Structure 1
Amino acid sequence: MLSQESRDFLANTGAYLTAKGISEKDIESFLEDAELHLTEGEKRGKSVEDIFGDSPKEYANQLVKEMQVDYKRNLGWLATAIMSILCYWTVPDLLFRKLNEPYTISLIGLIGYPVILVLMIVGGILFLRGASFQRSMLKKGLLLFGAVMLTYLPVLIMFFKDWHSFPFYEVPQLGRYLIGGVMLVITTIVNVRSLGWSGLF
């Protein structure tokens, strides 16, 4: 049984390498080797610092330079995140609410939602990288708070749309069904290709 320090090192390093886009095969290979080294080292009374150095983050950054970035998987995850978030934001309004009225695209929503989408994805990646080796609970808590607050930004856009609505384009009833249906189909295909059938749940 590994010590808590060793388990934390493996978990933090795995999360950091994942946030850096390293291939899953390289990450699993490293974690298996690292676990063996830690197990043998602890039997000899060695700590994580004795085995991997006094700066886990610097060690992880060195690993990043030596490992392969999985661009195909990263693009798949990015496409999954984008389509899932867009689907969550728009499909309920397109297919289930106020169906007898045209769907209005506001200027605030047209500009605000893409900006928030980028902030949420970038913020999530930065949170994983920043929190992985963060020992200060205060700093880790602040990072988590910042990441959570990003998820509430779409609510602000919804309020702004109601308070200061600047209609940009109106989608007719048939159009909203077509757009909503196409988005659902594309999101389903992207999720299944990237995450398997579990990506639908």
Structure 2
Amino acid sequence: MAVQLAPVQHPLGIWNQFLARQTETLVLREKVMSLTGDSFDIKMANGQPIFKIQGKVMSISGRKSVYDMGGNHLFDIVKEHLHIHATYAAVDPSGRKLLEVKSSFALLGSKATATFTNASNHAQESLQMKGNWFDSAADIVDLKTGFVVGRIDRKLLSGRDLLFGQQTYALTVAPNVDLALMVAMCICMDEKNNEGKGGLLGF
């Protein structure tokens, strides 16, 4: 049975054109025959593609570029240096920081906090992702309200995924929450958890 999340009261995100109208589930996976694993598509649960991610494999910063299906460059994910804790950011094509995701210590599982300016009211927002990133699931919680605005499920493996050594997982997003924002958080979290050993998404 599909997970249903309660809608948030006010729009929450950076890109208003990608606000979920209902509970939406996105499927993130590597391209099956990509030799370098440097790009992948993000699709809706019904198979409709919504975003395309391209990674620069030889880039020192590990930069990943995110596009909509019209080819519009939305943002890049980059690692920020000179931080005590692993920190990643989403920056627009002009280099302006839109989102910062900072990891922190958790006794069990993974934990990271994302901060950004909400496009709908210009308020500073904080979302926290916590859970067992590698094993099963993680929740994304709005720290102002305590509501779960997103949920990650990593147990959507098929025989085809296993055959090609790939990983697939679902990202469920609450109504009125920015799909692109949630995808950016997932990419940042995946990068942090796979530093130095090849990312889940092939980087």
TM-score interval (norm. to shorter): under 0.3
> Which structure shows the bigger proportion of residues in strand conformation?
2
Q: Please, what TM-score do these two structures have when normalized by structure 1? A: 0.21
Structure with bigger helix share is 1
**Structure with larger Rg:** 1
TM-score (norm 2): 0.20
